[in-house]
Each structure stands twice: as C-alpha cells, then as structure tokens.
Chain A
C-alpha cells in the first residue's frame, strides 16, 4: 500500500498542499495575508473542515492556517513522527502468578489517531511493561489481542469469542485472567461472561480506564495494577469488574459482573455495585474482602463454557404516553424477547395492554425491569402490575435492565421453551437476582446536606 502523503486532507486544503507540493510531515514556510508561519504539516482529522492546514510550530504547539489566506507555501524539509511506546520485554519472575491479559480495545492502552483526531488503542505486553513497569512485580504477564474494538462496538460476536478464549486459557492452566475493555459496555460484557463462563476456577477481571493512558493523570495504569493483583492473587473465582472506588488514586473496587453498572459518563469512580456491596477493595499491595460470600478459587480446570447468544432480544424503555405501535413494531420486526424498563415498581400504561397481549400470543418473552435501577420489581402492589403479569410480562426481580437483556439473549440462544426460559431467567447464575437487598446496597448521598458534605470533606477522597 502506498503511504498517504496528504493524510486526512481533502477538498480545498488538499488542493493547496498539492499545488505547493507540501506533504504531511513536511516542514514548511507559509506566507499568508495574516503573516508568515513556519512548522511541520500534521495530518488532519477526517471530520474537520477542508479550509485549514494544521502545522506544528517550533514551540511544539499546533495551529491551523486558513488555506484561503495562503499566498505562498514551500516545503523546506521532512520529519515524520514515530509514535511508539517504548517496548521492553516483560520479565518473568518465578513464584508470581501467571496472568493472561486479553485486549479488546478501549482506552486502557491507547494512542493518538490522526484519522479521527481521537485516541486509538495500542497494546502489547512490551508496550504495557514500558508504560507500567510496576506490573512485573505483580504477576507474570502474557497478553493476547482478541480483537480491537471500541467499547460501544463490543457485542454478541465478541462475547462468544471472548468466552471461548477464556475457556482455552483456563485449559492452559492460567492463574488469572484480565480483560482490557472500553468502559461504556464493560458491565454488559461482565454479565455476558458470567453467564457464558460458569464454574470458573480462577478470577476473570474486566478492566478499563475513564481517562485514556495518553494522559498523565490517567487511571489506566492503576486500574491495570489493581486488576492484575485481583486476577493473580485474589481468591475470588468470578467474573468481576475492577475500577476506581473513589475518584482519587486510592483503591479499586471489585464488582460482580452481574451487579455492576456504569453510573457517570466521565467520573473515574463511575462503576458501582447496585443493590449490594462490592466484593472487595483492592490496592497495589492487597485485596480486602467486603463480601464474604463468593465462589472460591480452585485448582481444577472444570470451567463450563456456554457461548450462546441470540440477537433477537430488545429493550423497551417506557415513557408516559407510549403508544402500542412501538411494541407492535418490535414484534413485527421479529424480536423474540423484550426487556421492559418500567417506571416505579415496574409499570407501563394501560394503552400498551393490547400490544402486550398480542406479543404474548406471538410467543414473545417479556420481562420487567426498572428505570429506578435500584430495588425490586413488585407487580403485586398495584392492579396495573397484576394486569400485566396476567398478560404475560414476568417480573425479573432486582435484575439490572442491561443484565436482563444479556441474560435473555443468552437463554434464547439455547432454548425458546417459555417455561424453560422463565425458569432460567429467574434462577440466578451469580446474583443477578438476589434474595435480599442489604441496607447499604443503596447509598446515593445527597450533596448539600451538611452531614453529607461533612463526610465528603473529611473522608471521601
């Protein structure tokens, strides 16, 4: 493939570069109606306009030059950047656990992408060791890039291949598995892997970062250290998400894959266990258990890989005044399962009833979850609830909406017998429905209340 010497430029800007014979990475002197500029031409992000040329000036800053103002331009040299994280071979230390890191993309390790101007993932054990040498004190690391996609592009296909890869690694005798993952859908994958990889003998830890590793204050390095420690040294043989506890560089929390949710678009401490307490706290040196009750690490390799997934399940987020045609359309489109996300205790309006009945008649599996996120579906409390149950909607307990979607998809990948589906849905694999909600399973403190503010000031970092 020939290299694109005008990387990212199009339209007018491209014409100007061609006219004056100046390449990307060429050093140039540009005369314009606003004066003279000197520097190195940089690639341009694909979605930016075609009216400007980006130049890195001698002081290291980038500027844009309006091509409409350019009167003369000349290439005076050429200096291509070589962006590479220093690679060092990952040292093996006898006595440390063998941990496998699966890369799936995301910002756990990333670098600049000139095409989009955004960051793209970069990943290899050598690169990781170059960037986070502390990892070598925690475990003996092997890495494998399973695929490189952004979090939002993770889906059924990836769940299945990841589950299979995990099975294979356990077969190979690995002592812990870490999955590097974009954070947006980390909890979806957490649920999927919980259902697909049952009876795990070793920890499987999902980790990401909320600030890309190209930033000095990134949480990536610390998250990775926490995850490696949890995977290599913890006794918890479950699928977990490991992310910052507080926003500070203090400790991470280990959340069950089925009870965790991303709760803030940008905070470092975005992942929370919902309706329960996290499994444990982890820092660079130790793991402190919070929940005593979990699946223990074993030395056998008897993992059950159940890599099933149906693409025929959808979610319906209810809003007041929703028309039945929405549900009708979904059913007509061939969806076999619908996860309702209802209001309050699990409600939708009466207007939907005919559509619900119709769907039920067509054999669509319907389950009710909650917009409130916290709490249980209680469909016996009001008539509406009872009506809906009669029409075929099954309450999914305190299963999180996203988890219910993953689980129903996983089940419908195996069977469509309504009785069997219902039984599987309501029998928890790993706490996706819990029997009880502890009092401290719901803590959303209200800022501004003096006692809370006092707590934040004194304790919460």
Chain B
C-alpha cells in the first residue's frame, strides 16, 4: 500500500489525543501529565541602567544609530569546567553579530569596552522589595554571575545577573505556587534582523535593570499558568516601581508532559497567549513521544543510527522551483523514518518542520531550506523521488529529505539533521522555542543549563545587612491576594480585577472608597470597565493619572454632585487630562439643578406620556420619562431614586 502522509498525519494526531484547548479538561491534562512553570521578567523603573550610568528607557528606531560594530562569540568553560551545550551550538552557527548603538542610550560599557560600574542601588532596592513580597529568602551577599549567551544578544557574550532571593511562595485564589528564585539582571539587546550568518541588534534596551521571578513547575493546566503569570506581574506592579508598556514585562514559559523534557517558550509578550502555547507544547511533546515509540520498534540502537547522503545534480530537479541560496542539493536518507516526517507535532505542523527549523537556526540556511518525501503537496514527483532513493540506496521504510543551501553550510546542516533525528529516538530535546500568536512555536536554541554560569570577576560581592532589608520591608504594599479578597468582599465584579491589578489601581480605589465614601462597586467598575474602555478609545498624547481621578471624585463630593457623574465626565477627561472639571461640565452642557426641581417636572411628563403613548405599560412609562429627564438628572441626583419616584 502506498504511504499517505496526510492520513499518517491525521492518524498520529488522533493517537496523541490532541484536542483544541477550548475542549480540553483537567482530565486531558492529567492524562498527558501537563507540567509548567514560569520565568517572569520585569523591567525596573530606574533612571539609569544596571551597571553603567546610561539613562534607562530611551529607545531608538532600527536605522537610527551612531555607530556599528561587529563581534563573534566563542564558547568558554563554565566555573565548574564544562562547556555548555547551547554555547557549542551557537559556535557552530558561525554568526557575525552587528551592534547598532546610539550615543544617547549606550556607552562603552554596553559594547564591552569598559568594565562594569557598581550595581545600581535603586534597582537593587526594588529587587529586594519584590523578593520580600514574594516571600523569598533573601541572600546574605549578592554575587554577580555571568550567564553565557552566545546568540549575541549581549555583546560581552554573557549577562550579568545575581540572585536576590530563593525559595518563595505566591498565593493565588485557588492554590499556592512555589518560587525557585528571583534574580536581578541586565536586559539584552533587541534583535533587528537575523538572516544567514548575519544577525543585527540594537543596544538601546541593553543593560536596563530587570528582575526574573522563577516558579517551580507547579501549574497543572494552561489557564493556571496564565493566572500565575498575571499574579506575578500584578505583584511586581503593586510596588509602583517597575516599568509598564510594551516589552517591559516578558515571560519564558517552561512546559513538559509526562516523559517529556523541559522546553522553554521564550519571550511571550502577552499573558493571554500562554494558555494556547502551553497546551500545544504539552501535546507536541506527547505526540513526539508516541513517534519515538513507533520508531523504536524499527530502530534498535539510536547511537548506531546514521544518515547517508548524496549530492544531487540540479538537472535532477528540473522544473522544481528552488530558493536562490540553494547552491547545493543534498539528498539525505533517514533509515526507517517513514511516517516520522509527517508525524503530527502542533496544529498545522509535522516533524519535518522541526528539521527545517534547526537547519535555519544551526546551519543558518534560510527557509525554505529542504524538501522531503512526506510533503502533503509534493514538490517533487514520485518518480523523481524513486530515482533519488535509488542513488541513496534507500530501504522500504526510509524517509528522505533534500537540503537546499549554500555549500559552506552543508556539513553543519547534515550534523543538525542527524542530531535531531537521533534525539527523536531518545525523547524530547531540551530546547528554547520561539512563540507565535497562533499558539505554535518553532525551535530557537538548545536549552542552556547551569553550565553556563561563571562568577563575574569584574564585580565585588554586595553584602545585604539585616538593617537594610528591614528598612526596605517597611513600606511594602500588601499582598495581591489580600487585595483580591477585599475586592471580593466589596462585591466588585471579578472581570475588573485583571485591569485593576495590572494597572496597579487598587491603592487608589481603596482610597476613594475609604476617604470619599463612594460605592465600592461603582468605583471598581469605574476603573475596571469605564476607564479601561475610555483608554481604549483614547487618541490623545497626555496621560490621565490616577491622582487626577481621585481629584475628580473629591471634586464631585465637594460640589455635592452625584458621584455617578464621574462616568459621564470620564471620556472627556481621558481625552483632555489637563482640563479642569468645571470646564468639562460646561463643555458637556451640564446644568446644576436641585432634586426638587427635577422631581417637580415629573407629574407633567407623566401626564404627557399618558396622553400621547396610550398603550404604554408601567415600565414603558418609567423608561420614557427617564429618557426625558436623565440628562438633567445625571450628577444632580441618584438615577435609581429618580426611577423610583417616577
């Protein structure tokens, strides 16, 4: 029977029991042993960078730079005398790294031409405060460590980082999540492009202070991961000392399934993407484990498993459209791999994609970089494949790929393919993967281990005295879980919490409720619904600050106006935060009217309704009359009371 890749793909997906996330239950996650933890990065709000005196938070466009320089990265030994796996992989890639720097935001420290200055104390203080909030054990002495990154994202080739606390705990509404550690570190460069052997970065963000909170893999389903992440971010923001906005908070999500391996999904910018990503990753691993079992039945020893290859003459693929960089065509035979290439991995993806992704990252061959014998829509006719199989001496259960790339990259490419296939016989490789909005991921790097740590010989350890830590602990905000409970108690609807916590509005809400005696549900929804909506519509340049909102409620109270008027004022206030309230009221054509005067109007209106709209029921009458006086009444009296009077 002829092998059918589409059928094979569908069948492998069915075997893995893959179902869309929306349909999945805890039972499904228990079945595959879903396990996940987080590394949450948060930029700190400081004036300067962590190890130099450059201003933090000044960004420039890709082509707006003053100088450019080139570096290559070379693996070095860790403190314990080991080479790190990622390091070796990155070295194989032979990348030329370009850095674009702007004088305003980068000095000679960023490009590693000056040793570090002492660590920014403001940043250290914030990191300790957040460690205390996270119930971590704060270290006695901060040791700055170099963490190797050979992808070039840091010109030194390592990130200076230091542990502030270990073994903490975060309380969520329904469970507790344990924390492994919190570190303070310098942020990395932003990538501009990565094509072939040339990768370009800019250095504006480089060196900005950042904390990383690492959890244990305590989350047992995708929603829980998102919830945990949100809570960590809320906690960070509750200090008011962290940066907000695009890129100020990023997370790496670690996922595995039972029998799988820790895979790190890097740089997830929005927490709302987490559920889909973790769901798919757990199932990718689960499916690949089933593929391994399938292959293991045919292949006894993974260490003896080998690819073979021949170079194809371009004339053999006549009529096939090949990419421009396809200097060489190398046909590779994968013994006993039939059915693996089209094996389901993620929605819309198969194992062959994993090979192609490694060819891009490790061998630097841009995609498209390969053809294979299990494509859904074959690029090459079966007869051509048969010719190739003959050249390769291929057996019946073998699969084939054709690598199309520059001559110089073929050796690395062959190694990369063989390596990945061998790994498929073992299990799931430890990787970092890059995420996409649709919930899928691609290979980014081999996951680095503890072997890439090295003490920073340029920095002295920083002792943390008890007194100093106690002084930092004095002005800490309360726990997020406490705030959560208060909002619940006040009956504030739960769909407002995320916005309130993520914008750190809770302290203000509490102040308005306590000091100005405004109804908590109104205040909660004012922030969580009305403000969120108004800001979504907002087009102007000025920021509406919380302090102004407090003044608004104070003003209404002082003027003896109904606090509900705030919702009518809000859209105008968001657009023009500098306008005074009186002017906004004039703009709105608001008239101050006594309750008595409004109520006096009612009998006449009711009479008018009865006369003109004879068919009206009681509720119709109330609605109609309300419609007539509402505009006048808002701000002058409670509308509920008005409705009752009608």
A51 within 8 A of B: yes
Chain B nearest Cβ from A269, distance in angstroms: 8
Contact of A32 among B136, B137, B155, B163 (CB under 8 A): B137
- Which residues of chain A come closer than 8 Å to B67, judged between CB atoms? 456-457, 460-461
- Nearest B residue to A270 by beta-carbon distance? B113
Contact between A57 and B181, CB atoms less than 8 A apart: yes
A60, B81: Cβ atoms under 8 Å?
Answer: no
A272 within 8 A of B: no
Chain A 416-461 interface residues, beta-carbon cutoff 8 Å to B: 447, 453, 456-457, 460-461
CB distance from A434 to the nearest CB of B (A): 30
**Pairwise interchain contact A266-B140, C-beta atoms closer than 8 A:** no
How many angstroms from the CA of A78 to the CA of B596 in the assembled complex? 86
- The answer, among B73, B75, B457, B463, for a CB contact under 8 Å with A112, is B457
Shortest distance between the CB of B64 and any CB in chain A (Å): 10
Q: Contact: B81 with A216, CB < 8 Å?
A: no
Assess whether B76 is in contact with A48, with CB atoms less than 8 Å apart.
no
A50 to chain B, nearest CB (A): 11
Looking at B319-327, B408-416, B448-456, the stretch in contact with chain A turns out to be B448-456
Q: Chain B, 75-92, contact with A by CB distance < 8 Å: what is the 0/1 string?
A: 111111101000100000
Q: With the chains together, A64 CA to B145 CA distance in Å?
A: 12
* Chain A residues positioned under 8 Å from B158 (CB to CB): 215-216
Contacting pair A61 B183 (CB below 8 A): yes
Q: Mark B122-153, 1 if CB is under 8 A from A, else 0.
A: 00000000000000111111110111111000
CB pair B166–A57 under 8 Å, yes or no, is yes
Q: Are B74 and A34 in contact (CB under 8 A)?
A: no
A81 and B66 contact, CB distance less than 8 A: no
Q: Are B81 and A82 in contact (CB under 8 A)?
A: yes
A217 to B111 alpha-carbon distance, docked (Å): 10
Q: Is the CB of B143 within 8 A of A216?
A: no
B70 in contact with A63 (CB, 8 Å): no
Task: Determine if A173 is an interface residue (Cβ-Cβ < 8 Å).
Answer: no
B180 near A: Cβ within 8 Å?
A: yes
B240 within 8 Å of A by Cβ? no
Q: Does the CB pair B137–A61 fall under 8 Å?
A: no
B461 near A215 with CB under 8 A, answer no
CB-contacts of A199-240 with B (<8 A): 210-218, 221-222
Interface size of A as a range: 35 or more
Q: Are A66 and B81 in contact (CB under 8 A)?
A: no
Q: Are A64 and B68 in contact (CB under 8 A)?
A: no
A residues less than 8 Å from B77 (CB atoms):
83-85, 111, 214
Taking CB atoms, residues of chain B closer than 8 Å to A119 are 457
Task: Pick out which of these stretches binds chain B: A148-156, A247-255, A350-358, A378-386.
Answer: A247-255
A48-B461, A81-B81, A457-B65 known; A60+B453 contact, CB < 8 A: yes
- B138: which A residues are within 8 A, CB to CB? 34-35
- Residue pair A49, B463 in contact (C-beta under 8 Å): yes
The reply to whether B81 and A84 form a contact with Cβ atoms under 8 Å apart is yes
Instruction: Say whether A83 contacts B79, CB under 8 Å.
Output: yes
Does A98 lie at the interface of the complex (its beta carbon under 8 Å from any beta carbon of B)?
no
B181 engages A59 (CB within 8 Å): yes
**A100 at interface, CB cutoff 8 A:** no
- B114 interfacial contact with A, CB 8 Å: yes
CB-based contact B156/A217 at 8 Å: yes
Min CB distance B329 to A, Å, is 29
Give the residue among A52, A63, A267 with the most B Cβ atoms within 10 A.
Answer: A63
Which one of A36, A210, A247 lies within 8 Å of B167 (CB-CB)?
A: A36
Chain A residues within 8 Å of B311, by CB: none
* Interface residue A69 (Cβ < 8 Å from any Cβ of B): yes
**Are A59 and B108 also in contact (CB < 8 A) when A81-B80, A461-B68 are?**
no
Picked from B73, B111, B156, the residue with its CB within 8 Å of the CB of A247 is B111
Distance (whole angstroms) from the CB of B558 to the closest CB of chain A = 48
Check B333 for interface membership: any CB of A closer than 8 A.
no
Is B460 engaged at the interface, CB distance under 8 Å to the other chain? yes
Closest residue of chain B to A217 (Cβ to Cβ) is: B157
**In whole Å, how far is B450's beta carbon from the nearest beta carbon of chain A?**
3
Assuming the contacts A216-B87, A266-B115, A457-B66, asked whether A81 and B137 have C-beta atoms less than 8 A apart, the reply is no
Q: Which of A62, A131, A222, A460 contacts B145, CB < 8 Å? A: A62
Asked whether, in the complex, the Cβ of B66 is within 8 Å of the Cβ of A453, the reply is: yes
Q: Cβ of A250 and Cβ of B70 under 8 Å apart?
A: yes
Q: What's the nearest-Cβ distance from chain B to residue A128, in Å? A: 13
| Partner of A63 from B69, B143, B451 at Cβ < 8 Å | B143
Residue B161 interfacial (CB < 8 Å): yes
Chain B nearest CB, measured from A221 CB (Å): 6
B113/A66 in contact, CB under 8 A: no
A57-B181, A461-B69 as given contacts; A34 in contact with B457, CB under 8 Å: no
> Which of B70, B167, B180, B451 has a CB less than 8 Å from the CB of A35?
B167
Within 8 Å by CB of A60, from B115, B136, B149, B452, lies B452
**What separation, in Å, do the CA atoms of A33 and B455 have in the docked complex?**
26
Contact A457 B68 (CB under 8 A): yes
Cα–Cα, bound, A287→B357 (Å): 39
Q: Are B70 and A64 interface neighbours, CB within 8 A?
A: no
A217 and B68 within 8 A (CB) = no
Name the distance in Å between A73's Cβ and chain B's nearest Cβ.
13
Q: Which of B115, B141, B449, B453 contacts A64 (CB 8 A)?
A: B141
Q: What chain A residues lie within 8 Å of B78 (beta carbons)? A: 60
Q: How far is the CA of A37 from the CA of B164 in the complex (A)?
A: 12
Chain B residue at minimum C-beta to C-beta distance from A65: B140
Residue of A nearest to B156 (CB): A217
Q: Which of A83-126 contact B (CB under 8 A)?
A: 83-86, 111-112, 117-119
Known contacts A66-B463, A83-B77, A215-B158: A60-B451 contact under CB 8 Å: yes
A: which residues have CB within 8 A of B? Answer: 32-37, 48-49, 51-52, 54, 56-67, 69, 81-86, 111-112, 117-119, 131, 210-218, 221-222, 246-250, 264, 266-268, 447, 453, 456-457, 460-461
Further 11 A-B residue pairs, CB within 8 A, beyond A63-B163, A64-B143:
A37-B139, A57-B181, A60-B450, A83-B80, A83-B81, A118-B457, A215-B146, A215-B158, A216-B87, A216-B157, A247-B113
Could you name 17 residue pairs across A and B whose Cβ atoms are closer than 8 Å?
A34-B139, A35-B166, A37-B139, A52-B140, A52-B463, A54-B141, A59-B180, A62-B143, A62-B145, A65-B140, A211-B112, A213-B76, A216-B74, A216-B150, A248-B69, A249-B71, A264-B113
Q: Which 3 A-B pairs have the closest CB atoms?
A: A64-B141, A216-B157, A35-B137
